[in-house]
Amino acid sequence: MTTDSPLPAPRARRPFLRGCAIVALVFAAFFLLIGLVSRMDDWSLTSGDKVAVLPVTGLIADSEATIEQLKKFAKDDSVKAIVLRINSPGGGVGPSQEIYEEVKKLQGKKIVVASMGALAASGGYYIACAAQKIYANPGTITGSIGVIMSFISVKDLIGKIGVKGMVVKSGSFKDIGSPVRDMKPEEQKLLKEVVDNVHLQFVDAVAEGRKMDKKKVMKIADGRIFSGEQARELGLVDALGNLEDAVAEAGKMAKIEGEPRVVSPPKKKISIMELLKEEAKSIIGDKLTEYRIRLDYLAQ
């Protein structure tokens, strides 16, 4: 008489489990290597004298990221000089002024040189004025020292389709700039006074940063643009040269021996959700901008 006994576990499973463990270890090592490589830029900031290149590109709509990076470079003792690489038509008055003021705080702590690319106008030039030295290419478009406030009127259009705009307001100027009615002379006068005041702030920043007579700045602060060569002749920039020339000069000013080591901010890793959020914010922001008053240091 025979009795049934439990069968031993198949030996084939053991190599399979070992294979799974090896694959898991390989993946873990791979992701660890990715993490180490991604931190190499941060580690490179910890030794040796360096020149940091900080890009300021596109429309200046927000100052947070630029200011955050300026503060990081300011705290890093190995970064002896900062080159602001500006490729911008300008942007909002507030963000431009905030970056300008943050650059000014570096005076006496770090050497700051501005390097203009193809375009460094209006708010882009405003920021450059806080640097100790400004480089431009001969054909760089710069200048545009001025302020603009734009409005749109759809009064005639909505009248044709039978739509009427109505508003309840607490004061006579509360709906100033409304697109559904004509602007009153007293409203135009009030807005012109605001624009003129902010324009004088721009002129003061240029006169202070470039050590120029305010009257001399006023003569050319009518929104006109200049080539880099013209700007040098007017005293708006110091020298003609490319980014490499600006980096070399920043190294000399910081008394770095030999060719300076160049570092730049690490690229920010953005998740898909963050991209979707930023896109949504951009769309909503663009729509809201159409219906609110806004001052810009912006080349048109």
Answer yes or no: is 6 within a domain.
Answer: no
How many domains does the structure of the chain reveal? 1
pLDDT at 283: 52
- Are the C-beta atoms of residues 221 and 189 closer than 8 Å to each other? no
Closest listed residue to residue 142, CA positions, set 89, 100, 92: 89
Give the count of alpha carbons within 13 A of 208, CB side only.
12
Answer yes or no: is 283 within a domain.
Answer: yes
Of 122, 133, 144, 178, the catalytic one is 122
Is residue 174 part of the annotated active site? The answer reads yes
- Predicted model pTM: 0.77
Strands 261-263 and 50-57: parallel
Range of the domain at 283: 39-146+205-288
Is pLDDT above 80 for 21?
no
| 293 Cβ contact partners less than 8 Å away, ≥ 6 residues apart | 149, 176, 177, 191
Of 174, 192, 214, 281, the catalytic one is 174
Q: Which two tokens stand for residue 110?
A: 């770090």
Is pLDDT above 80 for 130?
yes
Closest listed residue to residue 222, CA positions, set 195, 240, 246: 195
**Which helix (H) or strand (E) covers residue 29, if one does?**
helix 13-38
Q: Where are the beta strands (DSSP E) in 58-102?
A: 79-88, 90-92
Is pLDDT above 90 for 22?
no
CA angle 150, 154, 160 (to 5 degrees): 165
Go through the chain and tell me how many residues it has.
Answer: 300
Answer yes or no: is 69 within a domain.
Answer: yes
Report the C-alpha gap between 53 and 57 in whole angstroms: 12
Alpha-carbon separation of residue 167 from 170, 176, 181, 292 (angstroms) = 10, 11, 11, 15
Across the range 90-113, mean pLDDT stands at 96
- Are the C-beta atoms of residues 80 and 110 closer than 8 Å to each other? yes
Alpha-carbon separation of residue 142 from 100, 116, 224 (angstroms) = 16, 8, 9
Answer yes or no: is 82 within a domain.
Answer: yes
DSSP secondary structure code for residue 86 in this structure: E
| 169 Cβ contact partners less than 8 Å away, ≥ 6 residues apart | 175
Report the C-alpha gap between 56 and 242 in whole angstroms: 15
- Are the C-beta atoms of residues 236 and 142 closer than 8 Å to each other? yes
Answer yes or no: is 185 within a domain.
Answer: no
Across the range 187-208, mean pLDDT stands at 96
Answer yes or no: is 298 within a domain.
Answer: no
Answer yes or no: is 168 within a domain.
Answer: no
pLDDT tens, position by position, 245-254: 999 999 999 9
CA angle 243, 247, 253 (to 5 degrees): 140
Phi, psi of 5 (to 5 degrees): -125, 145
- Are the C-beta atoms of residues 138 and 233 closer than 8 Å to each other? no
pLDDT tens, position by position, 142-181: 999 999 998 888 888 888 888 887 888 898 889 898 888 8
| 139 Cβ contact partners less than 8 Å away, ≥ 6 residues apart | 118, 227, 228, 229
Per cent of the chain over pLDDT 90 is 59
Answer yes or no: is 170 within a domain.
Answer: no
CATH code (residue 256): 3.90.226.10
Amino acid identity of residue 9, one-letter, is: A
